[in-house]
Amino acid sequence: MSAQSLVVLMNGTMIGEVIRDRSGRSRFVYANAWRQQHDAIPLSLSMPLVRAEHPHAAIDAFMWGLLPDNEQTLARWANRFHVSARNAFGLLSHIGEDCAGAVQFVPPERLDAVQVTAEEDIVWLSEADIGERLRALRNDPSATRRAGDHGQFSLAGAQPKTALLLRDGRWGVPAGRTPTTHILKPPSDAFDGHAENEHFCLTLARRLGLPAAHSEVRRFDGEAAIVVSRFDRIEYDGQLLRVHQEDFCQALAISPTRKYQNEGGPSPEAIVDALRTHSSSPARDVDTFIDALAFNWLIAGTDAHAKNYALLFGGGGRIRLAPLYDLGSALPYPSLRQDKLILAMKIGNTYRLRDIRRHHWEKLLRGAHVDVDAALTRITAMATALPDHASDLSRFMRSEGVGHPMLERLPSLLAMSAHDKLAWLSRTDNSHDDA
């Protein structure tokens, strides 16, 4: 087999190529013209512009980070496109034209269709069309697009989802140069009310002062979905632009199969180090990240792994911590043993939610070289404010017509969690038998 290539575009500009050799190994090569631009940004922090070529370890981790974490989805896509489910290059050659961030992975023969001068290719959908697609997605997580759709996309994560364009009140499936603007996720069969749960937690985070993605719960032809506005898309000068982003597994060249810290994934300290090294506002972003860890501790957000924290690349080389996304509380689900719940990242010496005490936070903060008193003051203030904000938010959502039995339980469960954790934070005589 001869070498194959995928052209990598960033907002329509070629930044390099992924080249797959006869042995099946990929490497990424920056275009010289891109490296010479004064405002060029890297494909990934793990592939700096100072080097023209980067080996398979970094580009493979980056490409896998763009693909779903769902093995069933990958297997069905592989069958549909006649490639191996373990071939990220092959999969992206079919579904890489709309990814997280500003990048597109495009076969050379498709370049004309994705150039900014190409005609728009959008299939507009009715509410019934979207409802039908959501029903199909609930039954088959690989049904992100229908057979025959020109516009293919790829988004990471284990939950089934689709991505659409919203323009002037109309929903559509874009292809080529036009990006999607919103992510739609149907309810999870495993966790009843998950769409409402995620919407509640994202909104609660913003009310507590954390940057988080904007969302709403909508029904399309009777099918509920959480609709999340993409923060990696912006309107500028009348144009819809992609904004580059990458998650912390990609930034640190770690396979998404190791996204959880206890499976070899990034620790809070590693993320703090990366923010200090690369963020344009390191002090603010480190504080925000610590506050996000605390928020997930307070709400029992057990899936806040390294792929659920990301960096945004702005103009002038600015890099910032991205808004939070994929938030959710494990508290409303009796099937989850509350005494067994663990966080995705370790606080001090322990992952187990019920074991985390003040001294665990102190250990983490000292290890990350963060001002312990200032951070604990912010965490305490967040825990104190959370119950009232959760109660107010519950009333507001009911007034907006967002209802689910789970939402009747969640505010009181969050209040109890915050109350318990305030008590744990106030005690300075905790035993130091770290779990």
* Domains along the chain with CATH numbers: 4-113 (no CATH), 121-229 (no CATH), 243-426 (1.10.1070)
- What tokens were used for 302? 């057990």
Unique residue bearing structure tokens 């290059």: 89
Across the range 85-94, mean pLDDT stands at 94
User: How far apart, in whole angstroms, are the C-alpha atoms of residue 345 and residue 327?
Assistant: 14
Alpha helices by DSSP H, 208-349: 248-251, 268-278, 282-299
User: How far apart, in whole angstroms, are the C-alpha atoms of residue 268 and residue 21?
Assistant: 36
In this predicted structure, what is the pLDDT of residue 236? 86
- What tokens were used for 77? 């896509």
Q: Give the tens place of pLDDT for each residue, 34-76.
A: 999 999 999 999 999 999 999 999 999 999 999 988 888 899 8
Q: Which residues are catalytic?
A: 303
Number of H helices, E strands in the chain: 13, 18
Which band of pLDDT confidence, cut at 50, 70 and 90, is reported for residue 110? confident
Q: Is the pTM of this model over 0.95?
A: no
- What tokens were used for 204? 């609660």
Q: Give the tens place of pLDDT for each residue, 115-132.
A: 766 677 899 999 999 999
User: How far apart, in whole angstroms, are the C-alpha atoms of residue 275 and residue 431?
Assistant: 32
- Please count the CA atoms within 13 angstroms of the CA of 369 that sit on its side-chain side: 8
- What tokens were used for 306? 């390294």
